[in-house]
Amino acid sequence: MTGSLDNKTAVVTGSSSGIGFAIAQHLATEGANVVVNSRSQDRAEDAADEIDGGDTVLPIEADVTDRSSLQSLADRTVEEFGSLDIWVNNAGINIRGPAEELSLDDWQTVIDVNLTGTFSGAQVAGNRMIDQGTGGNIINISSMMGEQGQTGRTPYNTSKGGVNNLTRCLAVEWAEHDIQVNAVAPGYIETEMVDDAQDQIGFDKQDVVDRTPLGRFGSVDEVANCVTFLAEGDHFMTGEILHPDGGWLAFGWGSKD
């Protein structure tokens, strides 16, 4: 622990498991007060109990598709810790299927969580940071899929492409308030979401390894390291999309073999 985030307070949405949990753990390790969030208070509490941080980790139930719920999340964070310095929009879902068969409800559900939820979270955090007058860091969790087409993932890829440009727009607009807005767009990471995709779509993990220049899946800790770097803020970066993808986007096509 270096204490690079001492006296800072961070909210991580959707942080009861997976990438979000790893992010919350890393930020706490660096000394931040961390709010762990889930749609379920029980899940948030269970996750908070597993994070090293003691009294500096607070579980709060909130739904990113409910603006008033997000506002309450921000308000309670400030009441508990006195400020809001870092906000990580991590909550996300995926509904897969052929584009011609997707219902509008399925489309809207993904957009509501992944894109509108990210905007709402950023707006709530941005307003609080503007009022504080001390700047801050907003980090959106996107995906490398936001920069490419793929069968069976039209809502997801579209939502993440929107997150990328939302990140750029907010970065430009809020720069005058010293609020840095960046995104992390992972490639294939070992998570339950990837396991679910393998079960539903039936892709071969070895095909992903063969297509990835670094020759493996990434880890949630590697993604969390990128978020921690951005949260520290000492990098003169805003409006950037970091890609911990093992070289996937850099590699144009085919198998590395």
Catalytically active residues are 156
Q: Are 36 and 15 in contact (CB under 8 A)?
A: yes
* Partners of residue 179 on adjacent β-strands: 136
Question: Which residues, at least 6 apart from 122, have a Cβ–Cβ distance to it below 8 Å?
Answer: 87, 89, 138, 140, 166, 170, 181
Question: Which residues, at least 6 apart from 142, have a Cβ–Cβ distance to it below 8 Å?
Answer: 160, 163, 164, 167, 183, 184, 185, 241
- Rounded distance between C-alpha atoms, residue 28 and residue 3, angstroms: 9
